[in-house]
Chain A
Amino acid sequence: MEEEQLIAGLRAQDRKTVEYLYDKYSRALFAVISRIITDHDIAEEVFHDAFIKITRKIDGYDESKGRLYTWMANICRNAAIDKTRSKEFSKSSKTNTIDDYVYGIESESGTLELVDGIGVKELLTALNEEQRFVIECIYFKGYTHSEVSEEYDIPLGTVKSRIRAAVNVLKKNLEKI
């Protein structure tokens, strides 16, 4: 299904289109959430709500502001981040601050162990330390690039170029898989 067709079907609240959307994107979107929320049940709960939110807010999606997946991933990422910041979540989660997270990476038992996909470990190991660090902070954990820049005293431009380099490496390696 073409993206335009998909969007039109979603706007018409057509059941088949919604199912198609779920089948095509649920795994990727769930991945976005579960990188931030490690608890599988809570992640599913957040995903459930975020997916419903996507179908509800589809009229507000503006094609000129980016592609559908980017828009949906942002909704999921924001839903997950909101959840981590809620009081209810703070009680049940142990690794919630950036320091805890970084500690996790240092202990070599952080993100890599959360990642379950085939070849993704290889993908991430293809990144150098610096690239992996910014990608993990921003993309996996939902911190903004300026937060990373401030927190670790890395110039903003450097954060940006590291992100770019990392995405480039991922892009190349994805083609191999």
Chain B
Amino acid sequence: MDIQAYISSGKLELFVLGELSVREQEEVMKLAEQYPEIRKELDQIEEAMFAFDNLSGKAPSTSLKAQVMNTWEKEVKPAASNQAIPSKAEGKVVPLQPWKAYAAAASIVAVVASVFAIYYATRYYDVDQRLMAMVQERAVLAEELDNYKVNYEQTDAQLETLLTGNFERVPMKGDGFEMQKDAQVDVWWDKGAESVFISVNTLNELDENSDYQLWAIGDDGPVGIGLVNARQKFSLQQMQAVAAAGAFAITIEPKGGSESPTLEKLVVLGPVA
């Protein structure tokens, strides 16, 4: 830009005279910062104005200075040291209006937040319940799986026992007796290993005070070799070892079994072939 043209436009004089708008004042200040020539010109005009003013008028009365200093001492100086307090008090008056707006805004935010909170709390409760149900279900499944596993291992062990041993099947039937005509229980006997298993096919369940007891009938008479669980059907139940026997029989005995069989309550009998 043409600085000389700007200087000679008369704008700087108007600036010093306080005749420019705020926008124009800012323009002059900005240019004065940017161009030392303009700054220098401004300074000269200001100095000229001051010197001119200083020369051109009467001085005020000498008593005026004391008067001015007196007023200053009374009004300006004490106000300056207390300035912090009144300005704070003033500051408190202004935010009254915005405070209401903030309160209104804050309450709206609070309501919205509460709605969200309730919604998510409900969601959380739902999900939590579903999770609990799934955890329980999983526990049940795990337990079932355990049971199946135990059953499988038992069955596997029994199968292995049957396949590896030299077992003879001794069927015992109830059709010759009054107690249970359709009763049918098989004895599996490995004579070499002296081991005995039975498997229940059909056998009525008993009350709590009675048990089925298996007897091996040999040369020395019947010998109790174990209690039979009627509920455990089609699986092997190991009995006590037997070396020699002519027949096997099951009677109903008081809970825990007896020393000798109650022949009146003979359920099944099977002779060894």
Interface residues of A (CB under 8 A from B): 13, 15, 18-19, 22-23, 25-32, 34-35, 40, 43-44, 47-48, 51-52, 55-56, 64-67, 69-70, 73-74, 77-78, 115-120, 123, 138-139, 144-145, 157, 159-164, 167, 170-171, 174, 177
Contacts and interface: CB of A to CB of B under 8 A. Distances in A.
B244 to A, nearest CB: 125
A66 B15 contact: yes
Interface in B68-124: 68-69, 71-73, 75-77, 79-81
10 nearest CB pairs, A to B: A31-B57, A160-B10, A28-B53, A164-B10, A117-B55, A74-B18, A28-B54, A171-B48, A120-B56, A13-B80
Given A18-B69, A138-B19, A163-B14, 13 more contacts: A26-B59, A26-B60, A27-B54, A52-B71, A64-B29, A70-B18, A70-B46, A118-B55, A123-B55, A161-B9, A164-B12, A167-B45, A167-B49
Contacts of B58: 30-31, 34, 40, 116
A15 B43 CA distance: 28
8 contacts: A26-B65, A43-B60, A52-B72, A144-B19, A160-B11, A161-B8, A164-B13, A167-B13
B48 A170 contact: yes
Given A67-B46, A163-B10, A164-B8, A29 B53 contact: yes
B16 interface: yes
Contact of B16 (A26, A29, A66, A78): A66
B262 interface: no
A27 B59 contact: yes
Contacts of B52: 120, 123, 170, 174
B76 to A, nearest CB: 5
Contacts of B81: 13
Contacts of A70: 16, 18, 46, 49
B34 interface: no
B44 interface: yes
Contacts of B73: 15
Contact of B44 (A32, A55, A171): A171
Interface residues of B, number: 48
A116 B59 CA distance: 9
Contacts of B46: 66-67, 69-70
A44 B68 CA distance: 10
A47 B14 contact: no
Contacts of B55: 117-120, 123, 174, 177
A22 B59 contact: no
A3 to B, nearest CB: 11
A142 to B, nearest CB: 10
A162 to B, nearest CB: 8
A160 B14 contact: yes
Contacts of A44: 60-61, 64
A145 B12 CA distance: 13
B209 interface: no
A27 B57 contact: yes
Nearest to A72: B50
Contacts of B17: 138-139, 145, 163
A24 B9 CA distance: 31
Contacts of B57: 27-28, 30-32, 34-35, 115-117
Contact of B49 (A35, A69, A177): A69
A48 B75 contact: no
B80 A47 contact: no
Contacts of A66: 15-16, 25, 29, 42, 46
